[in-house]
Amino acid sequence: MTIRVLLADDQALLRATFRILIDSVADMTVVAEAADGREAVDLTATHRPDVVIMDIRMPDVDGVTATAAICARPELSGTHILVLTTFENDENVAKALRAGASGFLGKGVSPEVLLSSIRTVAAGEALLSPTATRALITRFLAAPDTDGFLALPDAVKGLTDREREVAALAAYGKSNAEIADRLVLSPLTVRSHIQRAMTKLHARDRAQLVVIAYQSGLVKPHTDPDRP
């Protein structure tokens, strides 16, 4: 299946570079380009891409606002947003994650990493660049969401003990294989628990599950699951 990509960046040269790269591989194609957030929202509604590569700092409507607008529309639930930014420690990145973005990368990533990241996000997995450490996540995502991008669901209380346990470990950055090893489960069983937790919490993907885990108090900032 071909991954359909929309590019949203106010720099035409950067968009052209990304288009050449993405169109050069057999499993991806660029379906549209947007120069600002407003255009990104409109073109996403028109083309229904699998992945939007979203710059944060754009004129008129910025990437955070555009991400929130796209993720708030049920008919666009199949679209995943990958934030690409120069400012990997910017609080706006955390706001984009709260708004529903699947992850982010710095603009200095290699072509191979960018293409791999698009595939990861298109598959519904969360993606954070290597510099997006747990310290960054806990610092920003655990903070109150004063912008109201993501309301904390009462459904957190409806998770089973196992679903809570698996969701918490995912929020600490553990992979399915690591969670499976820790809980003596199969990776497939772990994936099933995560999928059920996402369904109950109305999370678009694993990244939003992580956001909810921190903001609901399911995971506490500055704690280490590997310590007794």
Within the chain, which residues score under 50 in pLDDT?
A: 129-136, 146-151, 228
Residue 160, pLDDT score: 92
* pLDDT at residue 131 in the model: 45
Domains and CATH numbers, the chain: 3-132 (3.40.50.2300), 136-228 (1.10.10.10)
- The predicted pLDDT at position 214 comes to 78
User: Residue 133's pLDDT is what?
Assistant: 37
pLDDT value for 104: 80
The pLDDT value recorded for residue 108 is 81
pLDDT attached to residue 39:
97
Q: What end-to-end distance do the CA atoms of the chain give, in Å? A: 45
